[in-house]
């Protein structure tokens, strides 16, 4: 991993060689969710990806994002390179209408050895791959936490022995997420990654999702519907390719410099057709 290039991507070149601390962890986390979009456009572009953190980090450095395996995988590599004690865990995000479980559809991180005034134990839940989820790390302590317009809960998991349950705000895009205490390597996510990126039943295959979190809310693009949650809340439909790609660049910092004009034309066609099918009551 090119650590210096990664930090430049986050706008934090001065943190190369900086002390390992809770405050610097927070700074890194906030910069990541604000500058690196949660996005599944590689699926819609027909570009296979892996869960390898080095590959994911390279894509982030080149100006793209990804979903949880990519974002948290890459971020864990960056944090380790900077000297942080970080562990990867198998998690399970609970969608609306679903049941809680540690299904490996989510990768979550914890960091330790970073005491602060509000967290003397020094353990943290770290997650830059929840889309409209965390803006900054959470103390790994049961309680209720307010971040911008969202209120989160953290408590012992009822489905993962000795694990944790993250409860999203009721307005969030999912219900919550459970994760177990054991460390894992990225091989635990290979099978589910294959399903999420190729199966017709996958939400990522059915809907082109892009999300970005900031201190006052979240921007969410599902197909052609762009919604702002929190400060300045609104919903608009992006009717033209020009508006769609302008929103990617301006709202989500995704200029798609690595995508040719021909690929963009095909991408727009697929997303537009899916949106029209949804309006007509089809499977999208």
Per-residue pLDDT of the chain (284 residues; tens, 9 = 90+): 899 999 999 999 999 999 999 999 999 999 999 999 999 999 999 999 999 999 999 999 999 999 999 999 999 999 999 999 999 999 999 998 899 999 999 999 999 999 998 899 999 999 999 999 999 999 999 999 999 999 999 999 999 999 999 999 999 999 999 999 999 999 999 999 999 999 999 999 999 999 999 999 999 999 999 999 998 899 999 999 999 999 999 999 999 999 999 999 999 999 999 999 988 885 54
Left, alpha or beta for 81 (phi > 0: left; psi -120 to 50: alpha)?
Answer: alpha
Helices (H) and strands (E) counted in the chain, each on its own, are: 9, 13
Residues in Cβ contact with 91 at an 8 Å cutoff, skipping those fewer than 6 apart: 102, 104, 105, 106, 107, 108, 177, 178, 179, 180
In this prediction the pTM is: 0.96
Residues in Cβ contact with 30 at an 8 Å cutoff, skipping those fewer than 6 apart: 135, 136, 215
Domains of the chain: residue spans and CATH: 192-279 (3.30.2140.10)
- What are the Cα distances from residue 257, in Å, to 200, 253, 264, 272? 28, 11, 10, 21
């Amino acid at each position: 991993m090119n650590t210096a290039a990664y930090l430049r991507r986050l706008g934090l070149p001065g943190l190369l060689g900086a002390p390992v601390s809770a405050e610097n962890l927070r700074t890194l986390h906030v910069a990541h969710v604000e500058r690196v979009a949660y996005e599944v456009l590689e699926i819609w572009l027909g570009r296979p990806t892996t869960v390898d953190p080095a590959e994911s980090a390279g894509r982030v450095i080149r100006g793209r994002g990804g979903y949880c395996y990519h974002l948290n995988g890459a971020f864990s590599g960056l944090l380790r390179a900077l000297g942080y004690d970080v562990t990867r865990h198998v998690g399970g995000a609970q969608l609306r209408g679903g049941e809680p479980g540690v299904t490996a559809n989510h990768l979550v991180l914890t960091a330790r050895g970073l005491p602060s005034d509000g967290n003397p134990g020094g353990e943290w839940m770290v997650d830059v791959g929840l889309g409209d989820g965390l803006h900054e790390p959470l103390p790994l302590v049961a309680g209720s936490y307010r971040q911008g317009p969202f209120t989160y809960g953290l408590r012992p998991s009822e489905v993962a022995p000795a694990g944790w349950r993250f409860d999203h705000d009721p307005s969030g895009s999912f219900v919550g997420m459970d994760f177990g205490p054991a460390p894992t390597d990225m091989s635990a996510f290979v099978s589910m990654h294959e399903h999420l990126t190729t199966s017709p039943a996958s939400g990522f295959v059915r809907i082109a999702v892009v999300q970005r979190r900031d201190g006052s809310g979240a921007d969410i693009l599902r197909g052609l519907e762009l919604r702002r949650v929190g400060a300045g809340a609104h919903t608009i439909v992006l009717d033209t390719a020009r508006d769609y790609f302008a929103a990617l660049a301006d709202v989500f910092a995704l200029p798609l410099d690595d995508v040719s004009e021909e690929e963009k034309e095909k991408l727009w066609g697929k997303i537009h057709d899916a949106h029209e099918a949804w309006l007509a009551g089809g499977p999208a």
